[in-house]
């Protein structure tokens, strides 16, 4: 790929409600993680480096950042890092957060929030980010259970002005329909990538496109590695061949394939590494051929 300075605008834009975002965004989860899977030096990311990565992302045209109050470690909080790095926020910066799950002070996962507890989660995100409202709040579903009562609670907060737009995460078609009957849905965040997607993912992706809803994959690069990150030693030969043909990395090819799945598909790759950030943004300019895209899609036909 070209060595020119990458620009997140190269992948095009999409509307989250009335908010325009570049299709290459940034996921903040990895900024808080510790251990070998998340750090080149086998230790926790340096706080100053995390802040510099966030600022560099915005310099490169990233105007969509995904975060959550439950993205934190004993050392740092993603929301606090975003606040420290980017406040006062630019008018075009869209910050998307999630509610539903929670963590205790030591980082252990707590039970899924009850509907009446979502107000506190929204207010905590607002406090940590230093804002008076949230641009987009995704309700992360707790498996296939109905989401109506929880989504209704968020819809009330939207009416109060604490939330601008609503979305969903980790959901199936019935949950999307249930939520849309209550309030508009601007985005759906689901597990999706080459060889890593739900059995109903293609139907959901297509439905979102038909409804004008953004589809926002997570684990688009990590695939089966999920929170542990991508296993670069186990990439398929087809993917490696295509990467070589474009003088690109496998991660860049994964992102390019993801973005090619539809104009409504957004990418939110996360990293604490400045070089990986630039490579991820540059992937927005990588154009796969129809044949290459088809060969990559075939790698995940049996995933579910």
Helix ranges (DSSP H) in the chain: 47-59, 78-86, 118-129, 148-160, 173-180, 201-211, 237-245, 250-260, 274-282, 290-298
Residue 215 lies in a domain: yes
Is there a contact between 54 and 95 (Cβ–Cβ < 8 Å)? no
Question: Which CATH number goes with the domain that contains 226?
Answer: 3.20.20.100
Residue 74 lies in a domain: yes
Q: Say what the pLDDT of residue 283 is.
A: 97
Q: Say what the pLDDT of residue 301 is.
A: 57
Q: Say what the pLDDT of residue 226 is.
A: 44
Provide the domain limits for residue 77: 8-298
Residue 303 lies in a domain: no
Residue 214 lies in a domain: yes
Question: Which amino acids are annotated catalytic?
Answer: 71
- Return the axis-axis angle of helices 47-59 and 78-86, rounded to nearest 10°: 60
Q: Say what the pLDDT of residue 300 is.
A: 64
Q: Say what the pLDDT of residue 125 is.
A: 97
Average pLDDT by consecutive 10-residue portion of the chain (304 residues)?
A: 85 97 96 51 66 98 97 90 97 97 73 92 97 98 94 98 98 97 98 83 96 94 52 72 96 96 97 95 97 90 45
Residue 3 lies in a domain: no
Residue 226's nearest CA partner among 24, 8, 27 is 27
Asked whether the whole model's pTM tops 0.85, one would answer yes
Number of domains in the chain: 1
């Amino acid at each position: 790929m070209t060595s020119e300075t990458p620009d997140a605008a190269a992948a095009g834009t999409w509307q989250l409600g009335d908010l325009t975002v570049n299709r290459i965004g940034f996921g903040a989860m990895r900024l808080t993680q510790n251990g070998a899977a998340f750090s080149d030096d086998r230790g926790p990311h340096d706080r100053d480096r995390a802040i510099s990565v966030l600022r560099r992302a915005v310099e490169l045209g990233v105007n969509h950042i995904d975060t959550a109050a439950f993205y934190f470690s004993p050392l740092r909080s993603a929301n606090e890092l975003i606040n420290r790095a980017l406040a006062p926020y630019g008018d075009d910066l869209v910050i998307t957060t999630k509610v539903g799950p929670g963590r205790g002070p030591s980082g252990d996962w707590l039970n899924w929030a009850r509907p009446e507890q979502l107000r506190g989660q929204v207010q905590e995100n607002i406090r940590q980010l230093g804002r008076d409202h949230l641009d987009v709040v995704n309700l992360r579903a707790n498996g296939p259970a109905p989401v109506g009562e929880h989504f209704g609670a968020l819809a009330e907060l939207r009416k109060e002005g604490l939330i601008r737009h609503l979305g969903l995460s980790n959901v199936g078609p019935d949950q999307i329909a249930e939520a849309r009957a209550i309030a508009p849905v601007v985005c759906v965040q689901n597990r999706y990538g080459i060889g890593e997607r739900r059995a109903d993912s293609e139907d959901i992706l297509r439905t979102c496109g038909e409804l004008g809803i953004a589809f926002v994959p997570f684990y688009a690069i990590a695939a089966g590695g999920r929170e542990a990150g991508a296993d670069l030693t186990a990439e398929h030969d087809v993917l490696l061949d295509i990467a070589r043909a474009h003088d690109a990395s496998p991660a860049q090819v994964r992102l390019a394939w993801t973005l090619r799945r539809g104009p409504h598909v957004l990418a939110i790759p996360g990293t604490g590494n400045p070089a990986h950030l630039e490579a991820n943004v540059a992937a927005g300019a990588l154009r796969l051929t129809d044949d290459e895209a088809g060969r990559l899609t075939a790698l995940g036909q049996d995933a579910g």
